[in-house]
Amino acid sequence: MNNKPLILVVEDDTSVRNLITVTLKTNDYKFLTAQNGNAAIIEASSHKPDITLLDLGLPDMDGVKIIKKIRTWSNMPIIVISARSEDSDKIEALDAGADDYITKPFSVEELLARLRATQRRLSVTQTGTASSVFQNGSLSIDYAAGCAYLDGVEIHLTPMEYKLLCLLAANVGKVLTHTFITGKIWGNCLENDVASLRVFMATLRKKLESGSETQYIQTHIGIGYRMLKVE
Amino acid sequence: MTDGMQNKILQEYNSEEHILACLSSSPSNTKIIKTAAQMSKAFGGKFTALYVKTPESENMTRENRERLETNIRLAESLGAEIATVYADDIAQQIIEFVRLSKITKVVIGRSSLYVGRLFYRHTITDKLIKSSPGLDIYIIPNTEIKKNRGFYGTFSALKYPTLIQWAWMILILFLSTALGFLFRLFYFTEANTITVYMLGVLIVAIITKNYICSGVFSLASVLLFNFFFTEPQFTFKTYESGYPVTFVIMLTVSLLMGTLAYKVAASVKLSANTAYRTNIMLQANLLLQKTDSEDAVIAIMAQQLVKLLSRNIVIYRLHGNNLGMPQVFPTERGGDPDMLLSNSEINVATHLFENKEYTDINGIRIKNSACVYFSVKTNNTVFCIVGVEIGNKPIEHFECSILISILGESALAIENLRNVREKEKITLLAKNEKLRANLLRTISHDLRTPLTSISGNAETLLANYNNLDDNTRCKILKDISDDSGWLISLVENLLSVSRISEGQMNINLSAQLVDEVITEALKHVDRKAIDHEIITDFGNELLLAKMDARLISQVIINLVDNAIKYTPKGSIITVSAKPDGNHIIISVADNGNGIPDEQKKEVFRMFYTGNNSIADCRRSLGLGLSLCESIINAHQGKLTLTDNKPHGCIFSFTLEKSEVYLSEQ
């Protein structure tokens, strides 16, 4: 049980915090709690948690500001919990460095699923040093050869699709916003770019997921895309 | 029933025809009025009589004025609405009036065609035909034709005469002298010659309209008379002792006559000037009535002021409680508008505004400021500060009073506009408030049921946990979970409703992949879907549509949820998307029992819930479809309901197709 990560729960609402901590306890996670932004930063810096669950609506500090502060010294995964349904908040948090988000109301299973996904990603980044081959389920990318394989069979990708695949692979498990992706690929973000990004993603996904049940690329409507870490 | 009443009744039932009679002081005008009245009766249309007042109208003879009044009364008694407008150019004014009042037929006198300058003879009809092609024009012939009255048109005052004026003077002088010689030939007395010179003075005064000319003519005529017609001839000497007196009297009389003629012309000019200024004010009034924005009011005000004063105008509008940036309205002759924008001028304006020193109705000027400052305000609200460049000469009193009245009119116009806007806002707010109140009432009712179940069940668990067996506990927990799930979907819908503001929905359109949005939406569909089969069909093409992804997913979720709710277990629900020209049709079809025709229209109503035996009434909010409809409408699409074959129903909606340019660079 020692490989279970330490989780920092930052949430001001008592019942939601109870819900999360009970869930974590029943699933044998170790956890710390903080009720406001300042406490969160102190806990994060003193106990070095592995994952942070951060509520965006804290009484004393804007959630995005906390993310930015934590990012100055730590690369730990941050999962944002947002009660606001507007996409712009999530996008802002993701662009500030958050890895993932959950919208209230969320189900317990969803929360646990996100934690598991983040853990998997952690294990990859901790063990995998700069390797020339990327492996995710039956998908592999040979950076040196510039080729992608599915079950050892080469997939024929256009240069743009390959670029996107590499970008997603480099950030596996992390939700990448449209702005982030178009910025990386085209260098700027125009309305047309987001639309073409959708098309390229759709074709790329068809090539990766046709004929199999495995989902590699997850779409977040209005927000962006994420490559899932497959067992 | 009198004609007037009949007309009024007809007007109410038939607004297609609108007949215009042009009023004038001419005796034959009665014929025009009667013809127009008969026409309005025959066509059953509206009848308006228009009188265009010109600056010349001020100088109308008493006879003419009385006749005009009789004509106006006649028109009124025949059921006409009387309109009086002021303009320099009658033709232009009639055309404008025709256009604004949507006149269909114009009855106009032949003499009216000659009003105005001689060269524009036929242009009224021509212009009218050109400006409104659908217009019928009836011309009533008139034997009385007015003479061209060009003589008093303009009078160049005390200016140094031009060569032409000099030439006229010399010619008339020559002719008078020649006539004098002719009289002498016939042995007429010298008194006749003197009269001829007098006549000459008058003619010179009228033709040249120049004081200097008539003065010089008077002097010259005395000298010439002395030189040519008194003994001894061809010298400036006289023998007879009475002649010097004659000369003095002659000079005085001719000077007086010249002066009188000049004064008459000058007073015509003055009244024309007055009329012009009054006209500017009335024009401002007329234009202000038609404005629909504050910008337009300010623009008209500035334009009329520049026209009135021929000075540069600077206007500072108010932004909240601060003075905005100045805007200069220069005259045509240019000048130096930059001077009005100098820092010191802006400081003066700001100072006046901040110290509320704009109360003086006659304007305020500080030290050596380039402008006199006026305020456009109603009782307690200031709308803007107007600066009038002062230059070397102060503003005339008459100009000033007109200036103030234009400012007052503009202030009223702005206030009116603001009041109207305020009222519209309040109405809209009330409408939205009503919608929200309705919504809240229904929702709070619908919220109570699941909340009662959740809180009650939770309390039961807390109090009697140990007394309940596992099965009961499980059942209670499942109820809590189900009810909270239902609450969650209700809240999702409410969030969409909250985006309806000011009667409109705020949508963020972007090109989205249709299958992506549908797939995503189906993930949120009610968990009860296990009992139903959901099939998707997107074809092979990648379809992109312009939409607000969040709202459209809400529509799909609601439609599919409805299909699940209102169809028996085991039904098949098909969600499909296919292109159709410039649009994409997305439809949700089921093979349930369908919706009876008489209920088809009802389902889109807010809070409607059908008497369907399958649906659990408590859980159908009746908000879903009406919300879907407003979302689709906001996308310029249409949500339709048709029958599925062999049974069931299809809800489909259209979205605009979007093309994307793909670059592999």
- Which residue is closest to B488 within chain A, CA to CA? A105
Chain B residue numbers touching A200 (CB-CB < 8 A): 662
pLDDT in tens, B488-536: 877 777 777 666 654 566 677 888 889 888 988 888 776 666 788 888 8
* CB-CB contact of B493 with B558 (8 Å): yes
Q: Tell me if residue B80 falls in helix, strand or coil.
A: coil
Residue A58 has pLDDT above 60, yes or no: yes
What pLDDT score does B152 carry?
37
How remote is the C-alpha of B448 from its chain's centroid? Answer: 52
What pLDDT score does A34 carry?
92
**Is the CB of residue B663 less than 8 Å away from at least one CB of chain A?**
yes
- Looking at the fold, whether B539 and B650 belong to one and the same domain comes out as yes
* CB-CB contact of B328 with B335 (8 Å): no
Determine, yes or no, domain membership for B295.
no
Q: Which amino acid is at B81?
A: E
Q: How far apart are CA B415 and CA B291, in angstroms?
A: 12
State both tokens at B150.
């060009």
Q: How far apart are CA B464 and CA B471, in angstroms?
A: 14
* CB-CB contact of A43 with A49 (8 Å): yes
- Looking at the fold, whether B513 and B648 belong to one and the same domain comes out as yes
What pLDDT score does B150 carry?
36
Residue A78 has pLDDT above 90, yes or no: yes
B322-329 sheet: strands from edge to edge: B322-329, B313-319, B382-389, B371-377
pLDDT in tens, B197-218: 888 888 888 787 777 787 888 8
Q: Tell me if residue B155 falls in helix, strand or coil.
A: coil
What pLDDT score does A85 carry?
64
Chain B residue numbers touching A85 (CB-CB < 8 A): 492, 495
Beta carbons within 10 angstroms of residue B662's beta carbon = 15
Q: Is A198's CB within 8 Å of B663's CB?
A: no
- Looking at the fold, whether B9 and B130 belong to one and the same domain comes out as yes
> DSSP secondary-structure letter at B522?
H
- Looking at the fold, whether B136 and B12 belong to one and the same domain comes out as yes
Q: How far apart are CA A132 and CA A144, in angstroms?
A: 6
What pLDDT score does A124 carry?
67
What pLDDT score does B361 carry?
59
- Which residue is closest to A194 within chain B, CA to CA? B511
Q: Is A221's CB within 8 Å of B520's CB?
A: yes
- Across A66-70, A166-170, B519-523, B574-578, least confident range: B519-523
Determine, yes or no, domain membership for B358.
no
- Best of A178, A196, A204 to substitute, by most chain B Cβ atoms within 10 angstroms, is A196
Out of B510, B550, B660, closest to residue A196 by CB:
B660
* CB-CB contact of B521 with B553 (8 Å): yes
The residue among B89, B108, B140 that closes a domain is B140
Q: Is B510's CB within 8 Å of A194's CB?
A: yes
Residue A128 has pLDDT above 60, yes or no: no
Which one, of B476, B561, B484, B545, lies nearest residue B512 by Cα? B545
Query: Closest Cα of chain A to B484: distance in Å?
Result: 10
**Is the CB of residue B496 less than 8 Å away from at least one CB of chain A?**
no
Q: Could you tell me which residues come within 8 angstroms of residue B313 by beta carbon, excluding any fewer than 6 positions away?
A: B302, B305, B306, B328, B329, B386, B387, B388, B389
Q: How far apart are CA B6 and CA B3, in angstroms?
A: 5
Give, in order, the Cα–Cα distances in Å from A144 to each of A163, A164, A173, A231, B653.
14, 16, 23, 24, 49
Q: How far apart are CA B241 and CA B470, in angstroms?
A: 151
- Which residue is closest to A200 within chain B, CA to CA? B662
What pLDDT score does B539 carry?
82
Mean pLDDT value across residues A123-140:
73
Q: Is B488's CB within 8 Å of A159's CB?
A: no
**Is the CB of residue B656 less than 8 Å away from at least one CB of chain A?**
no
B583-590 sheet: strands from edge to edge: B533-537, B572-580, B583-590, B649-656, B639-643
Q: How far apart are CA B13 and CA A75, in angstroms?
A: 79
- Looking at the fold, whether B73 and B37 belong to one and the same domain comes out as yes
Determine, yes or no, domain membership for B350.
no
Q: Which CATH number fits domain A130-227: 1.20.58.760, 3.40.50.720, 1.10.10.10, 3.40.50.10330?
A: 1.10.10.10
- Looking at the fold, whether B261 and B205 belong to one and the same domain comes out as yes
Chain B residue numbers touching A196 (CB-CB < 8 A): 660-663
- Type and span of the H or E element at B313: strand B313-319
Q: What are the DSSP E strand ranges found in B514-554?
A: 533-537, 544-547
Query: Closest Cα of chain A to B552: distance in Å?
Result: 11
Domain residue spans of chain A = 6-126, 130-227
What pLDDT score does B588 carry?
92
- Best of B486, B513, B524, B659 to substitute, by most chain A Cβ atoms within 10 angstroms, is B513
**Is the CB of residue B462 less than 8 Å away from at least one CB of chain A?**
no
- Looking at the fold, whether B192 and B226 belong to one and the same domain comes out as yes
Determine, yes or no, domain membership for B476.
no
Q: Could you tell me which residues come within 8 angstroms of residue B168 by beta carbon, excluding any fewer than 6 positions away?
A: B204, B207, B208, B213
Determine, yes or no, domain membership for B59.
yes
pLDDT in tens, B134-145: 778 888 776 544
Chain B residue numbers touching A222 (CB-CB < 8 A): 549-550
The residue among B267, B299, B329 that closes a domain is B267
Q: Is A199's CB within 8 Å of B513's CB?
A: yes
Pairing of strands A51-55, A78-82: parallel
Determine, yes or no, domain membership for B514.
yes
Range of the domain at B20: 3-140
Q: Residue B484: exposed, middle, or buried by beta-carbon count in 10 A (0-12, 13-18, 19+)?
A: middle
Determine, yes or no, domain membership for B631.
yes
SS (H, E, C) B87-110: CCCHHHHHHHHHHHCCCCEEEEEC
Query: Closest Cα of chain A to B517: distance in Å?
Result: 7
- Looking at the fold, whether B544 and B606 belong to one and the same domain comes out as yes
Residue bearing tokens 């005469």: B161
Which one, of B224, B239, B213, lies nearest residue B180 by Cα? B224
CATH 3.40.50.2300 fits A6-126, yes or no: yes
What pLDDT score does B56 carry?
64
- Looking at the fold, whether B132 and B219 belong to one and the same domain comes out as no
Is A6-126's fold the same as A130-227's?
Answer: no
- Best of A221, A223, A225, A226 to substitute, by most chain B Cβ atoms within 10 angstroms, is A221
Out of A158, A200, A221, closest to residue B550 by CB:
A221
- Would you tell me which residues 537-566 of chain B have a C-beta closer than 8 angstroms to some C-beta of chain A? 542, 544, 549-550, 553
What pLDDT score does A54 carry?
92
Q: How far apart are CA A60 and CA A38, in angstroms?
A: 8
This model of the complex carries an ipTM of 0.75
State both tokens at B111.
């003499």
- Looking at the fold, whether B519 and B604 belong to one and the same domain comes out as yes
For residue B596, whether the previous peptide bond is cis, meaning omega lies within 30 degrees of 0, is no
What pLDDT score does B2 carry?
45
pLDDT in tens, B222-235: 888 888 888 777 87
Q: Is B517's CB within 8 Å of A198's CB?
A: no
**Is the CB of residue B511 less than 8 Å away from at least one CB of chain A?**
yes
Q: Domain containing B553 — which CATH number?
A: 3.30.565.10
Mean pLDDT value across residues A187-213:
80
pLDDT in tens, B579-620: 988 899 999 999 888 888 877 777 776 555 555 544 444 445
- Give strand pairing partners of B122: none
**Is the CB of residue B660 less than 8 Å away from at least one CB of chain A?**
yes
- List, for chain B, all residue ranges whose pLDDT scores fall below the cut of 50: 1-2, 4-14, 112-121, 144-157, 502, 613-619
- Looking at the fold, whether B55 and B118 belong to one and the same domain comes out as yes
Pairing of strands B500-501, B322-329: unpaired
**Is the CB of residue B514 less than 8 Å away from at least one CB of chain A?**
no
The residue among B235, B267, B299 that closes a domain is B267
Q: Could you tell me which residues come within 8 angstroms of residue B194 by beta carbon, excluding any fewer than 6 positions away?
A: B225, B246, B250
* CB-CB contact of A84 with A56 (8 Å): yes
Determine, yes or no, domain membership for B221.
yes
Torsion of the alpha carbons at B515, B517, B523 and B525, rounded to the nearest 10:
-110
* CB-CB contact of B503 with B428 (8 Å): yes
- Counted domains in chain B: 3
Q: Could you tell me which residues come within 8 angstroms of residue B662 by beta carbon, excluding any fewer than 6 positions away?
A: A196, A199, A200
Chain A residue numbers touching B512 (CB-CB < 8 A): 198, 221
State both tokens at B390.
């002062």
